Chain A
Amino acid sequence: DQQVKQNSPSLSVQEGRISILNCDYTNSMFDYFLWYKKYPAEGPTFLISISSIKDKNEDGRFTVFLNKSAKHLSLHIVPSQPGDSAVYFCAASAPGDMRFGAGTRLTVKP
C-alpha cells in the first residue's frame, strides 16, 4: 500500500518561474515530512523538512507547505533554476516507519 503518493511523475517549468511539487499521504500517524532531491547515479540529498505541528517551513528558494486536514504537502521552488532539474522525493515518517513517494522528475528549461 502506497501511503505516500506523488501523483505527477514529471513537471516542466521555465527558468525563473515557480515549481510546485505535490505529495499526498494516507497515514495520520506520520509526524514529520521531508523532501529529497536526487540526481542520476547519486544518492538522494536532503532538501527541506517540516514537522506536523507546523504548516510552513522556508529555506531560501524552497518552501514546504503542510495541510494536515487534507493530508497534503507541497514543495515550492522560486525562482526555479536549471540546476534544480532532478527527481524530487517526498518522505513521511512515524516512529519506526519511513515512507517515500515514487518521485517527481522536475525539468527546468532555460
Chain B
Amino acid sequence: NAGVTQTPKFQVLKTGQSMTLQCAQDMNHEYMSWYRQDPGMGLRLIHYSVGAGITDQGEVPNGYNVSRSTTEDFPLRLLSAAPSQTSVYFCASSYGFGDTEAFFGQGTRLTVV
C-alpha cells in the first residue's frame, strides 16, 4: 500500500507565485488534513476535510485554499505565495478526526523567496 502520497517533495517559489501541493491516499479514509511544521512550533492544522465535498478551516488557514472532490485527493493551493509560507507541509488521512491515528505523508519542503 502506498498510504499517503505527497508531491512534490521539494519546491522553491518566488513571492506571488501560485502552486498546488498534491495529496492522495489509498486507504479509503474519510478524514484528510493539511499541517505545516515550523521550527519550535510543532505541527499546525491548516485545513481539514471530513469527506468529499466538505472542508473546514484549522488553526492557520489564511493564504491557503483546499477542495475535496474525491475521497482520495486533497490538494492544498497557495494562491499568492509569501515568505511566511516557507515551511514543511504534511498531509494526513484517518478514519476519524482526532480520535484515531492519522497516517502522514512524507512532507513537502516549500521555500518562498
Which A residues are within 8 Å of any B CB, using their own CB? 2, 4, 6, 31-32, 34, 36, 41-46, 49, 51, 89, 91, 93-103
B97 touches A98 (CB 8 A): yes
B26 at the interface (CB under 8 A from A): no
Please determine whether A98 and B58 come into contact, CB atoms closer than 8 angstroms: yes
Inside 8 A of B44's CB, which chain A residues have their CB? 100
Q: Are B42 and A103 touching (Cβ within 8 A)? A: yes
> Which 9 pairs, one residue from A and one from B, show the smallest C-beta to C-beta distance?
A93-B98, A43-B104, A46-B101, A100-B42, A100-B43, A102-B42, A32-B99, A44-B104, A98-B45
Interface residues of B, count at CB 8 A: 25
Asked if residues A44 and B43 are in contact (CB atoms below 8 Å), the reply is yes
Nearest B residue to A48 via CB reads B101
**Residues of B20-70 contacting chain A, CB below 8 A:** 33, 35, 40-45, 48, 56, 58-59
B56 surroundings in chain A (CB, below 8 A): 96
| Chain A residues whose C-beta falls within 8 Å of the C-beta of B40 in the assembled complex | 102
Q: How many residue pairs at the A-B interface have CB separations less than 8 Å?
A: 61
Given A4-B42, A98-B33, A102-B41, A49–B101 Cβ distance below 8 Å? Answer: yes
Are A94 and B98 in contact, with the CB atoms below 8 A?
Answer: yes
- Nearest to B92 among chain A residues (CB) is A43
B99 and A43 within 8 A (CB): no
Report whether A43 and B107 are in contact in the complex, using a CB–CB cutoff of 8 Å.
yes
Residues of chain A lying within 8 A (CB to CB) of residue B92: 43
Contact at B90–A99, with CB atoms within 8 Å? no
Is B4 an interface residue when CB atoms closer than 8 A count as contact? Answer: yes
Chain B contacts for A89, CB-based, 8 A: 42-43
